[in-house]
Amino acid sequence: MDDINRSRLQLIFSMLLFGTIGTLARYINMPSSIICLGRAFFGVITILILLGARKEKPDAEAIRRNFWWLLLSSALMCCNWICQFEAYKYTTIATATLCYYMQPVFYILAGAVVLREKLTTKKVACVAVSFCGMILVSGVLQIGFHISELKGAVFGVTGGFFYAMVVLINKYMKDISPVNTTIMQLALVSVIMLPYSAATGAFREVNVTLIGVICLLILGVLHTGIGYIIYFDAVNKLPAQTVGILSYIDPVEAVMLSAFLLKEPVNIYTVIGAVMILGAAAVSELTGDRKTA
C-alpha cells in the first residue's frame, strides 16, 4: 500500500473516531468542564507518550515563539468544547452536530472581517443556505421555541463559532507543526479548565460511574491523543481537497448514530437541514481556486 492510500485510510479512521464523540458523551454523566478537563489531560499525556515512543520531543523554541497565540487559541478551545458538550446535553446528537458544523460559515465571515478575504456571491449564498438549514435542524419551525432544543442548537452554533475562531488564530502562528500546536493547546486547556471547574463547583457535581470513567478515558486517549496523531499524520500527506471531502464522514456518521443507535428522533426537516448545512459547507470549502486545491 502506498503512502497516499495509507494516509487516506488514516484520515477515514480518524473521522470515524471523531464522529462517535457525541454518542460517547451520552454515557459520561459529568459536567461539561470536567469532560473537557479529562479529555485534554488524557489527550496530551497520550500524545507525549506516543512522541516519546517515536523518539520525538516538542519543539520548545517554536512553542515559546507562539506562546501568546497558543494561549488565546486554547482559551477559545475551552469555550468551543464546553459549548459542544453542553449542546449534547440539551438536544439530539444530530441537531447538536449539525449546528456545530456551521463552523465553515463563521470562518468565511471572520475571514472577510479579519483577514480581508473577498466575500464572493457564492460565499454569501453558502452562509444564507447554511443558516436556513440550521433553522430547520433546530426544530423551531416544527415545535416552536422549546427551551431545551433551542438551548442545544444555540450551544452547538456557538461551539462552531469558537472552533472557527481557533482555526483563525492558528493562522497567525509561525513555524510550528500541528502536533506541537496541539500538545500545547491541550496542556493549556487542562491548566485553564482545572481552576475553572473548581471555581464553578463542577467537581461537586461529578457522578462517578465505571462506564463514565471508561468513556472519558476513551475520549481522551483514543479520540484525542491517538486520533489527533493519526489525523495530523494523514493531513500532512494528503491534498487539501481530499481532506475536505473526507471530513464530512464525521457529521454524517454522527447523525446516523443518533438515529439508529441512540434512537433519537430524526425527521424530514432534520434531513433537509443537514443537506443544506453540509452542502453549503462543502461548496464553500471545496470549490475554491483550482490551483490552491
What are the residue boundaries of the structural domains of the chain, listed by start? 3-286
Residue 158 to residue 79: CA distance in whole angstroms: 9
Give tens-digit pLDDT for 157-204. Answer: 999 999 989 988 988 899 999 899 999 999 999 999 999 999 999 999
Residue 46 to residue 56: CA distance in whole angstroms: 13
pLDDT at 68: 96
For residues 179 and 62, the answer to whether their CB atoms sit within 8 Å is no
pLDDT at 292: 42
Closest CA to 89 of 29, 135, 36: 29
Q: Which residues of 222-244 are buried (b: 16+ CB within 10 A; e: fewer)?
A: bbbbbbbbbbbbbbebbeeebbb
Distance spanning both ends of the chain, measured CA to CA:
24
The pTM of the full predicted model, rounded to 2 decimals, is 0.87
pLDDT at 145: 54
Give tens-digit pLDDT for 102-149. Answer: 887 787 777 777 767 777 888 788 888 888 888 787 666 665 557 778
pLDDT at 144: 57
Per DSSP, the three-state class of 45 is helix
pLDDT at 142: 63
131, three cell numbers: 443558516
* 58 backbone dihedrals φ, ψ, rounded to 5°: -60, 145
Confidence of residue 293 (pLDDT cuts 50, 70, 90): very low
270, three cell numbers: 432534520
Residue 177 to residue 74: CA distance in whole angstroms: 16
Give tens-digit pLDDT for 40-94. Answer: 999 999 999 999 998 988 999 999 999 999 999 999 999 999 999 999 999 889 8
Q: Which residues contact 258 (CB under 8 A, 6 or more apart)?
A: 22, 23, 92, 93, 94, 97, 264, 266
Give tens-digit pLDDT for 2-55. Answer: 778 888 899 999 999 999 999 999 999 999 999 999 999 999 999 999 999 989
pLDDT at 30: 94
pLDDT at 221: 96
Give tens-digit pLDDT for 216-255. Answer: 999 999 999 999 999 988 888 887 667 777 888 888 899 8
